[in-house]
Amino acid sequence: MASAPLPAPRPSLPRVLIIGGGFAGLAAARALAKSPVAVTLFDRRNHHVFQPLLYQVATAALSPADIAAPIRHILRRQRNCHVVLAEITSVDLERKLVHFVQGDGDATAQFDWLILAAGATHSYFGKPEWERLAPGLKTLEDATEIRKRILLAFENAEYETSPQRRRAALTFAIVGGGPTGVELAGAISEIAAKTIPSDFRNIDTKTTRVVLFEGGDRLLPAFPPQLSERARRDLVSMGVEVRLNARVTDINVDGLYLGAEFLPVRNVLWAAGVMASPLGASLGPGVPTDRAGRVLVGPDLSVPGHPRVFVTGDLAHAVCPGQSEPVAGVAQGGMQMGAYAGRVIASEVGTSAHPATRKPFVYKDKGIMATIGRSRAVGVVGGFKISGFPAWLFWGGLHVMFLVNYRSRIIVALSWMWNWLLFSRDARLITGPARLDISGGMGVAPAPSVADPHVHDAI
């Protein structure tokens, strides 16, 4: 298909190609706003998602549009930047081109500079078949799917007559005790205990069991141990069962296994492994990656041997000078890396600057935070540990401030006030078919064949 994404107004300009419209890709594009380059940003979705709040969509507190915005709209005023809705299928470093799918056709684009910011997805530790049983949370589609499973679990418990099956339908297992796992566990527990009890007639949603499994010996491993313990205590006080040193060994439609131990549970959510976009590995045998598929970049975030190719964000394994651990896969890291790569290009383009003279990337850790639930959060900000209500307020303010557009800030702030005052979560929609095709991990029981439908006397 002879599709030409860009009839290049000034083909003589150096071509900077950015793959991915997440935090890193957007920051890179913005850093090039005033440079004499032709920037093209590719993303397979039309929208940027504010990932730190994705769990709030999954738990019906916010709508997808509250935390997402069209990428081309975000960059509309940056006239040197084209946004292309297309999926990159491979990168050819030698020929300096990328292959992509657009509409129904394949196409190719050439670059002078490349910034890879394609992010990460879930990893099921070599068990991809777990995905349909235990969905993870990376996209808006994931979030509405998880929202649907959570809501359907209660619907199914409402009509389930077998006590065992009802119990399993009212049990949620969350695998992975990082921020996403902690946030999901807290939110589901609040939905069950505060938001929906009066909606149901046959079940007491307050009896819902939420179990959080963490393979390590504490929650939030990236946080100071003291805050891990605080998060655990807060969750326990909300009724969440926290299981540390607990490795899930198998998952099926009826429940999950930890070695010999079996937990009957219909709703399993995945917040454990993360795997970098396969684009990293596709760069070829000359480009080393770590176990999580992240590209091992140099101190200037460039790919060894390719000084004009940068890898940023969750796709990069970047170790800063004097550090032993790579930069964490968080929004701040992505933003700083993207902006760095953009600035390097901006400073070198049209000059004879030598890559060897680049100052290395230095990550400025501005802190980390995780919410646990209504009025509870933990975090490290400016070196200070914070927790409880002040931390929660700070978390809220910070996240509202970082949302990409003003309308979202207003709507999200209002929604949170509303939800906080009324224990409410108003996006409790089940969309798409009201049952799932696969019964794995959620409250739809495998269908017994019905020879003689039971007639209920009482309706």
Nearest distance, CB of residue 449 and a second copy, angstroms:
9
Q: Is residue 140 a contact residue for a second copy (CB under 8 A)? A: yes
Interface with a second copy (CB under 8 A), residue from 50, 121, 133, 160: 160
Q: Shortest CA distance to 190 belongs to which of 237, 222, 227?
A: 237
Q: Is residue 362 a contact residue for a second copy (CB under 8 A)? A: no
Evaluate whether 96 touches 111 at the Cβ level (below 8 Å).
yes
The alpha carbon of residue 359 and the mean position of all alpha carbons in its chain are separated, in whole angstroms, by 30
Select 103 or 355, whichever has its Cβ closest to a second copy.
103
The strand pair at 105-110 and 97-102 is best described as antiparallel
Kindly identify the residues of this chain, within the stretch 185-204, that bind a second copy according to CB under 8 A.
Answer: 196, 198-202
Q: Is residue 90 a contact residue for a second copy (CB under 8 A)? A: no
Q: Shortest CA distance to 146 belongs to which of 188, 182, 179, 186?
A: 188
Q: Shortest CA distance to 370 belongs to which of 213, 270, 231?
A: 231
Stretch that binds a second copy, among 84-92, 239-247, 279-287, 294-302 (CB under 8 A): 84-92
Burial category of 201 from C-beta neighbours within 10 Å (exposed 0-12, middle 13-18, buried 19 and up) = exposed
Select 140 or 303, whichever has its Cβ closest to a second copy.
140
Kindly identify the residues of this chain, within the stretch 367-426, that bind a second copy according to CB under 8 A.
Answer: 405, 407-408, 410-411, 414-415, 418, 424, 426
How many residues does this entry show for the chain? Answer: 459
Stretch that binds a second copy, among 43-51, 121-129, 207-215, 360-368 (CB under 8 A): 43-51
> Tokens for 132?
């349909």
Q: Is residue 434 a contact residue for a second copy (CB under 8 A)? A: yes
Distance CA 253, CA 206 (A): 24
Q: Is residue 85 a contact residue for a second copy (CB under 8 A)? A: yes
End-to-end CA distance of the chain: 58
183 is catalytic: yes
Instruction: Say which residue the tokens 């007559």 belong to.
Output: 161
Stretch that binds a second copy, among 39-47, 250-258, 308-316, 375-383 (CB under 8 A): 39-47
Phi-psi label, residue 322: left if phi above 0, alpha if psi -120 to 50, beta otherwise: left
Interface with a second copy (CB under 8 A), residue from 34, 36, 106, 305: 106
Kindly identify the residues of this chain, within the stretch 320-339, that bind a second copy according to CB under 8 A.
Answer: none
Distance CA 220, CA 376 (A): 15
Q: Is residue 73 a contact residue for a second copy (CB under 8 A)? A: yes
Q: Is residue 45 a contact residue for a second copy (CB under 8 A)? A: yes
Q: Is residue 356 a contact residue for a second copy (CB under 8 A)? A: no
Residue 448: other Cβ atoms inside 10 A: 6
Q: Is residue 163 a contact residue for a second copy (CB under 8 A)? A: no
Nearest distance, CB of residue 422 and a second copy, angstroms:
8
The alpha carbon of residue 166 and the mean position of all alpha carbons in its chain are separated, in whole angstroms, by 30
Select 382 or 453, whichever has its Cβ closest to a second copy.
453
Nearest distance, CB of residue 106 and a second copy, angstroms:
4
Nearest distance, CB of residue 209 and a second copy, angstroms:
20
Select 137 or 386, whichever has its Cβ closest to a second copy.
137
Q: Is residue 299 a contact residue for a second copy (CB under 8 A)? A: no
Distance CA 124, CA 108 (A): 32
Active-site residue identified among 145, 155, 160, 183 = 183
Evaluate whether 85 touches 45 at the Cβ level (below 8 Å).
yes
Evaluate whether 264 touches 441 at the Cβ level (below 8 Å).
no
Residue type, 52: P
Q: Is residue 63 a contact residue for a second copy (CB under 8 A)? A: yes
Interface with a second copy (CB under 8 A), residue from 66, 183, 300, 314: 66
- Catalytic residue numbers? 183
